[in-house]
Structure 1
């Protein structure tokens, strides 16, 4: 065997041994490709670049975004000749104020929560009723309200989505499945990248009753809302503490 053959044979053996040794040790791992992260509207829970993939996912993200956050919420509704307005100011989960009124009917509800105690005042055509009892966190009592509006009135499918200073503005001009005998259906919403729905407006006409319906909510003073004790609480319960026993009084005139 010539020296070249010996060198080639030796090289083959060395290469084989090297290959065996490498196989016996730690395997070389090829890094898996990193999935490309969605950007733009597609990064918002429940949205795509050109529409709504899941109203339910958006509603859940919106509800989560309200936890442990101060805000002032206004909800307005009109159905035919009836209309009402609700205002909720949340400083934290255990300190908030609520007021709801139905226009023209003499009905209004007010609530103030401070720590473990809830104070209520109900105004009816017969008079005023006061109640004091145990409170619940703001998220448990009211967290579902606006999330339900998003889930109920926002249809899945294509939508016009444009950039907005607070995130994105959505416009949809069709009703969700199951909305019968309606036309002129329009939804406009402003959604933050987190899924927080800052404002929401839906309007449509019931063709059977020829009545227009309008629902709107809007958040303001997010992270900056402070709540003061109302005068009606100070007057009715001057001795009020941070924990009350549920009591009621008959309707008072006025």
Structure 2
């Protein structure tokens, strides 16, 4: 069994720590999608990032929408410096020559375990079998409405379905959660999808927008 996993359920803290350790010294790609529907409207967030093994070369993008507004954030960091592009509506600004420590790229690797903990702690996931993905056996953890233990425990939840695919070392390959609120509750629905892929095989490429920004700055100077 993966660390923190037993027939009785999953210790989110132990699994998150094992996931963090499994990524140490490895390049990887991470993707997180969040979709929330409530009385306040629909809000979506898409986050994707790639990092090299040392964590000193990172590219990430974040797209959010809600309340009639859309925003995006792009970051490229290498060798301690970073470029950041921020877009709100039709307005875009680019900053170059920043310190990596002052950007979200600096928190990517340290936050991997926290993301897993936050989502796994929502319910008590129990092992239900093994699934082979790309030739690798992964333990399947599942949870339903009877297992809700965290964020939605006090909400009026009509349905809950969660699935985690994790290897024996504790590396979470994918995690998906779908929640439906009962009639009259503040929450209509929520979905979360987290994945870690190309572990040890991710190549971080320099985005074209960085070169364009540097060329524009050189022309203006």
TM-score (normalised: structure 1):
0.70
3-state SS, counterpart of residue 108 of structure 2: helix
C-alpha change, 1:153 and 1:114, in structure 2 (3 Å) is closer
Determine the C-alpha separation between the residues in 1 that align with 2:120 and 2:127: 13
Alignment of 1:105-124 (within 5 A): 105-124=69-88
> Is residue 90–residue 138 contact of structure 1 (8 Å, CA) maintained in 2?
no
**Which residue of 169, 187, 206 maps to 2:140?**
169
Aligned twin of 1:159: 126
Aligned length: 197
Q: Is 1:135 aligned to 2:100, yes or no?
A: yes
The answer (yes or no) to whether the contact 1:86–1:100 under 8 Å persists in 2 is: yes
Q: Write the distance in 1 (CA, Å) between the matches of 2:73 and 2:104.
A: 16
2:67 pairs with 1:67: no
1:42-121 equivalent positions in 2, closer than 5 A: 44-48=2-6, 50-80=7-37, 81-92=42-53, 93-103=55-65, 105-121=69-85
* RMSD, aligned α-carbons: 2.5
Note closer, same or farther for the CA distance 1:158–1:222 as it changes in structure 2 (3 Å cut).
closer
For structure 1, which segment, 205-214 or 228-237, has the greater mean C-alpha deviation from structure 2 after superposition? 205-214
Q: Select the residue among 171, 180, 202 that pairs with 2:154.
A: 180
The separation in 1 between residues aligned to 2:61 and 2:93, in whole angstroms, is: 15
What is the rounded CA distance, in whole Å, between the counterparts of 1:185 and 1:134 in structure 2?
Answer: 42
1:112 Cα deviation from its structure 2 partner:
0.3
Alpha carbons of structure 1 residues 158 and 215: separation in structure 2 relative to 1, 3 Å: closer
Q: CA deviation at 1:160?
A: 3.7
Secondary structure of 1:171 counterpart: strand
- Mapped contact 1:153–1:176 kept (Cα < 8 A): no
The 1:117/1:147 distance shift into structure 2, 3 A limit, reads same
Q: Distance in 1 between matches of 2:5 and 2:15?
A: 7
Q: Of 165, 168, 179, which aligns to 1:204?
A: 179
Q: 1:53, 1:224 → 2: CA distance?
A: 29
Q: Indicate how the Cα distance of structure 1 residues 157 and 78 shifts in structure 2: closer, same or farther if over 3 A, else same.
A: closer
Rg: which structure is higher? 1
Gaps spanning 5+ residues in structure 1: where? 1-40, 241-254
